[in-house]
């Protein structure tokens, strides 16, 4: 038949899901087979991912999905599992919010100055880039005994198929890839003492990644052969592939735990000004560059809600909509908000330190967070346009934040540009579309996007007022 079914495994920092996408020439329907929590665990050594629970969730999802034509896997970036010579996993993968990378950047920059590192890899400074994590792991027994390093989606693919590879879009977040050659940065790795032989060979979206193993078929009730197809295994790469843009002059914000705000470019921007503005050049589909900035995102709100004992989110957002706008803002790009815990107090501290009113009630704190996110979105999109010399007329918001109408409207207001919100499950859709393309059901990136605009419900937000109030708020943040 002309319609096929693909399973998209999409793992986020707070939940994982297995979605089933039905794709045909004029069809793109996504249904949820299984959603499960992703609960990192604090053990004495630090913060760890519960990778076995995630894998169990994947198997459960494939069991529920029903017969499918292929499977694709994407997840958050930078983290990895280590395997020994027998192919067995050594320990639980370390969470990127673990504190082990504190102070590590300085030892790295002593060997390769930060400016040189940026010129070679195009990656923004983030303490969790794999390069810093590997440096922090240093001479631990675990790393010394490892034969192989697999990034999270590659590890799950390995368990499903027995085949190992390193998917390129996700590899580009390790800070060990040169975005111009789209190959390893051999020189950087050597100077930092990182053994590139740990990594399995690079593979690209569309490459085959093996067949589900017999015991996986048995466990899931699927009838083989079922191939695993390499997709943009970095969730943000998959999400950008599913931005329903109709032209070239667009910016995007992938919202969820993080907000990733920026542009899709043909070539990296490796200038010193770009480094100073902390923009990253990650790789996307078909050799494109995801030129973007990491903004703390709804993590700020998730952490507050956790502290407040999980009040109803809808009520909280309605109350926040009634609070006076732009009373106080924090720098939502500040890595000071990376670690978990005490979030309302940390936000209050940041407001106090910048001489602004301190938000007290949950509604006030929520408003402060949403105003701050919208401001950070507009600052990132403004800076990206000038640094890349790539003007835009529209901002696409995809991911979980599209369900937050206030955040979408505030972002339109702050940017002074129309916002098109949707789809919410962009990463899963990008994952499904790359599988469908590989199996000949859709054409190039443009036709993938055309199929999205034809089939997915989108919401449009026009900017209200002028941006002067936002620029004044920005001044409060950047005042020395």
Cβ-based nearer residue to ligand LFR, 233 or 456: 233
Between helix 468-478 and helix 362-388 the angle, nearest 10°, is 90
DSSP code string of 400-416: GGGG-HHHHHHHHHHHT
Of 260, 373, 407, 424, the residue at the interface with ligand LFR (CB under 6 A) is 260
Q: How far is the CB of 294 from ligand LFR (least distance, A)?
A: 5
Are 213 and 161 in contact, with CB atoms under 8 Å apart? Answer: yes
Of 96, 199, 279, 461, the residue at the interface with ligand LFR (CB under 6 A) is 96
Q: Tell me, residue by residue from 343 to 382, as one string, x for binding to ligand LFR by CB under 6 A and - for no binding.
A: ----------------------------------------
Q: Tell me, residue by residue from 11 to 50, as one string, x for binding to ligand LFR by CB under 6 A and - for no binding.
A: -xx-------------------------------------
Between helix 51-65 and helix 152-161 the angle, nearest 10°, is 60
User: Distance between CA atoms of 51 and 330, rounded to whole angstroms?
Assistant: 34
Six token digits for residue 177? 């890839």
Spatial CA neighbour of 74 closest among 310, 256, 288, 338: 256
Q: Which residue has 């835009």 as its token pair?
A: 392
78 binds ligand LFR (CB under 6 A): yes
Judged by CB under 6 A, the chain residues 269 through 328 that form the site for ligand LFR are: 294
User: Distance between CA atoms of 80 and 211, rounded to whole angstroms?
Assistant: 22
- Strand partners for 43: 46
DSSP, collapsed to helix, strand or coil, labels residue 340 as coil
Q: Tell me, residue by residue from 183 to 222, as one string, x for binding to ligand LFR by CB under 6 A and - for no binding.
A: ----------------------------------------
> Could you count the other beta carbons within 10 Å of the beta carbon of residue 218?
11
Q: H or E segment at 385?
A: helix 362-388
Q: How far is the CB of 110 from ligand LFR (least distance, A)?
A: 25
Half-sphere exposure for 475 (CA within 13 Å, toward CB): 6
User: Distance between CA atoms of 210 and 162, rounded to whole angstroms?
Assistant: 7
User: Distance between CA atoms of 423 and 444, rounded to whole angstroms?
Assistant: 19
Of 10, 154, 167, 235, the residue at the interface with ligand LFR (CB under 6 A) is 235
Of 158, 258, 279, 337, the residue at the interface with ligand LFR (CB under 6 A) is 258
Cβ-based nearer residue to ligand LFR, 78 or 146: 78
- Which window, 30-38, 70-78, 138-146, 316-324, contacts ligand LFR (CB under 6 A)? 70-78
Size of the site for ligand LFR (CB under 6 A): 14
| Residue 235 annotated as catalytic | yes
- Which of the residues 235, 331, 371, 413 is marked catalytic? 235
76 binds ligand LFR (CB under 6 A): yes
List residues with catalytic annotation: 235
Contacts with ligand LFR, residue ranges (CB under 6 A)? 12-13, 76-78, 96, 234-236, 256-258, 260, 294
């Amino acid at each position: 038949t002309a319609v096929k079914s693909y399973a998209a495994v999409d793992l986020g920092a707070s939940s994982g899901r297995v979605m089933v996408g039905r794709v045909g020439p004029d069809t793109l329907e996504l249904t949820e087979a299984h959603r499960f929590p992703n609960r990192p665990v604090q053990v004495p050594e630090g913060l760890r991912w519960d990778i076995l629970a995630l894998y169990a969730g994947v198997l459960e999802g494939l069991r529920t999905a029903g017969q499918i034509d292929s499977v694709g896997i994407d997840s958050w970036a930078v983290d990895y599992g280590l395997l020994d010579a027998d192919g067995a996993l050594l320990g639980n993968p370390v969470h990127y919010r673990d504190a082990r990378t504190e102070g590590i950047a300085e030892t790295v920059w002593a060997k390769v100055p930060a400016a040189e590192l940026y010129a070679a890899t195009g990656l923004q400074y983030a303490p969790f880039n794999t390069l810093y994590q590997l440096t922090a792991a240093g001479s631990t027994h675990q790393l010394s005994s490892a034969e192989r390093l697999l990034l999270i989606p590659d590890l799950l693919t390995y368990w499903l198929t027995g085949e190992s590879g390193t998917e390129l879009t996700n590899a580009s977040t390790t800070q060990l890839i040169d975005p111009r050659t789209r190959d390893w940065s051999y020189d950087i790795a050597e100077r930092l003492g990182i053994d590139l032989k740990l990594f399995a060979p690079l593979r690209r979206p569309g490459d085959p990644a093996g067949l589900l193993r017999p015991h996986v078929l048995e466990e899931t009730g699927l009838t083989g052969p079922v191939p695993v197809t390499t997709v943009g295994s970095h969730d943000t790469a998959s999400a950008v592939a599913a931005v329903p843009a109709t032209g070239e002059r667009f910016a995007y914000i992938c919202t969820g735990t993080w907000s990733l705000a920026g542009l899709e470019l043909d070539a990296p921007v490796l200038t010193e000004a770009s480094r100073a503005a902390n923009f990253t050049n990650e790789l996307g589909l078909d050799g494109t560059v995801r030129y973007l900035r990491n903004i703390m995102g709804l993590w700020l709100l998730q952490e507050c809600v956790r502290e407040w004992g999980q009040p109803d989110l809808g009520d909280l957002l309605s109350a926040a909509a009634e609070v006076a706008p732009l009373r106080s803002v924090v720098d939502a790009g500040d890595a000071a908000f990376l670690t978990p815990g005490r979030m309302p107090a940390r936000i209050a501290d940041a407001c106090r330190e910048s001489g602004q009113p301190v938000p007290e009630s949950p509604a006030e704190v929520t408003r402060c967070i949403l105003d701050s996110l919208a401001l950070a979105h507009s600052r990132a999109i403004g800076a990206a346009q000038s640094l890349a010399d790539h003007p835009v007329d529209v901002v696409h918001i995809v991911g979980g934040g599209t369900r937050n109408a206030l955040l979408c409207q505030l972002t339109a207001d702050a940017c002074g540009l129309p916002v098109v919100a949707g789809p919410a499950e962009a990463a899963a859709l990008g994952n499904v579309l790359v599988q469908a393309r590989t199996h000949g059901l859709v054409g190039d990136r443009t036709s993938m996007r055309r199929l999205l605009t034809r089939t997915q419900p989108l919401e449009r937000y026009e900017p209200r007022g002028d941006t002067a109030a936002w620029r004044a708020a920005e001044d409060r943040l950047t005042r020395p």
